[in-house]
Structure 1
Amino acid sequence: MELINKYFKDLTETQRNQFAALAPLYKEWNEKINVISRKDIANIYEHHVLHSLAIAKEFHFKAGSQILDFGCGGGFPGIPLAILFPECHFKMIDGTGKKVMVAREIAQAIGLKNAEPVHLRGEEEKGKYDFIVSRAVMPLPDLMKIVRKNLSPKMNNARPNGVICLKGGQLDEELKPMGKKVEVVPISNYFEEEWFAEKFIVYSY
């Protein structure tokens, strides 16, 4: 929790309590269903919660924004973002039912009313959203083919509706097909921990 408080100083008491509850809940669920690498569960705040919240350092979603978490797994980045933006709605989809169940149970346990985890493949999702967020589920050009249909034509935020991905490593080849409508922001711009050195926010619109 120290990491969250370090970078997000204006949290409400409810938000602090929700973030604090995540580690024990994920540890408990991870013993039943492996949603986070067992050796990584000790780093949940740095590698999962804070990593998810990097998006919030680059984008401030307006109240009422509709956001789709594509390939949410056990709830990242959707659950941390839903805690931080309580006036936005986050639909969270994944093709693995067990992981969606964990996300749903954790959202309910912390009283998160604006997160909606659903067992659904991206191709089946019909809704329209201001933004689609994702954590490196597939190469960005492949992801865009699936989710372009889900981007709303109506703009509500300061930046154009688009897809926001958390990615790591060398991205040049992957992003070549995207042309100029892509921005890459190093997460190290915001977080000083060494683990973020090769991690990026990739925004395509």
Structure 2
Amino acid sequence: MDSIQSKFRDLLAEKGIHLSDRQLDQFETYYKELVEWNEKMNLTGITEREQVYIKHFYDSLSVAFFVNMEEKKMVADIGSGAGFPSIPLKIAFPHLHVTIVDSLNKRIQFLNHLCTQLQVSDVNCLHGRAEDVARNKAHRDQYDLVTARAVARLTVLNEFCLPFVKVQGHFLAMKGSEVEEELQEAGFSLKELRGQLLHTYRMELPEQEASKRHLVLIQKGSPTPAKYPRKAGTPLKMPLIKQ
């Protein structure tokens, strides 16, 4: 274990997340695979090792600062890209059953390869649009926790993600430094999709300038109405905003 991993482990320990040597090895494998595959396809603009550990791994695990992951089992990650936040969460909390939905098949191929290299099980990587997958009974209203990290504006994310959440389950949107305008804009979509804003958590990444993050926690009160989500592409083109 070098200084970067040691600091990573200590920062997480301060938040009550304790990583074993095997888990640290998995994160290092993740870093190496990410950088190697990034040369072939665009997975991330961040490749410097310490930055990956903080801006990707630590940032992903910040979900567990505000949500009790021991109480969650079924997790869906929508538009996961290179596996954030779901794969770091799976490493830190091996009991999780994770479903990842991404519209780009190359990213799904990377994630399947990564899971093999990490030797993790119970991770299902699905190639498809969130609007289409959410129509499948196997995924609709099924998940304890659904995550999305900086994929789209909140009013769009609500339609992408809340259909996956089971009743009384949670959707956590990981956003950047500005979130107030999005929260105001998203009120109508929350009502339509049976979501209730519980809390907006604010955090900063350690030792990073301009690193403010907001995590928006939403609870689902009843099943998704049959008309949602609308057909693929519509939520982005015509967001649910009260006219």
State if a TM-score over 0.5 links the two structures.
yes
Per the alignment, residue 111 of structure 2 pairs with 103
Mapped to 2, the partners of 1:2 and 1:102 lie a distance apart of: 27
Q: Deviations over 1:13-60 (max 9, x none)?
A: 3212111211111111111112111xx211211111111111011112
Structure 2 gap ranges (5+)? 188-195, 220-243
Q: Deviations over 1:111-162 (max 9, x none)?
A: 0113222112101223110111111101112111233222112xxxxxx512
| Percent identity of equivalent pairs | 25
- Counterpart in the other structure of 1:58: 66
Give the drift of 1:106.
Answer: 0.9
Q: 1:163 to 1:3 in 2, by over 3 A?
A: farther
Local SS of the residue matching 1:137? coil
Residue 203 of structure 2: which of 163, 187, 190 is its match? 187
Alignment-derived partner of residue 90 in structure 1 = 98
Write the deviation string for residues 74-109 of structure 1: whole angstroms up to 9, x where unpaired. 111111011111111110110011111111111110
1:5 equivalent in alignment to 2:9: yes
Count of matched residue positions in the alignment of Structure 1 and Structure 2? 195
Long gaps (5+) in structure 1:
154-159
Query: Which of 105, 123, 147 in structure 1 is aligned with 2:131?
Result: 123
Which AA in structure 1 matches 2:151? V
> Is the aligned partner of 1:137 residue 2:145?
no
Shift of 1:196: 6.4
Verify the 8 A CA contact 1:165 1:201 in the aligned structure 2.
Answer: yes
Tell me, in whole angstroms, the C-alpha distance in 1 between the residues paired with 2:150 and 2:58.
16
Once the two structures are superposed, what CA deviation does each residue of 1:157-193 show, in whole Å capped at 9, x if it has no partner? Answer: xxx51211211121111101445624211122xx432
- What is the SS of the residue equivalent to 1:118? strand
Normalised to the residue count of structure 1, the TM-score between the two structures is: 0.87
Cα distance in 1 for partners of 2:90, 2:215 equals 18
Normalised by the size of structure 2, how large is the TM-score? Answer: 0.74
CA distance in 2, matches of 1:74, 1:3: 23
Tell me the distance in 2 between the aligned counterparts of 1:196 and 1:51: 14
Q: 2:31 is matched by which residue type in structure 1?
A: A
Instruction: State whether residues 187 and 196 of structure 1, in contact with CA within 8 Å, keep that contact through their aligned partners in structure 2.
Output: no
Question: What amino acid sits opposite 1:173 in the alignment?
Answer: E
Cα distance change of structure 1 residues 196 and 70 upon mapping to structure 2, 3 Å threshold:
farther
Distance 1:70 1:3 in 2: 29
Q: Paired residue for 2:35?
A: 27
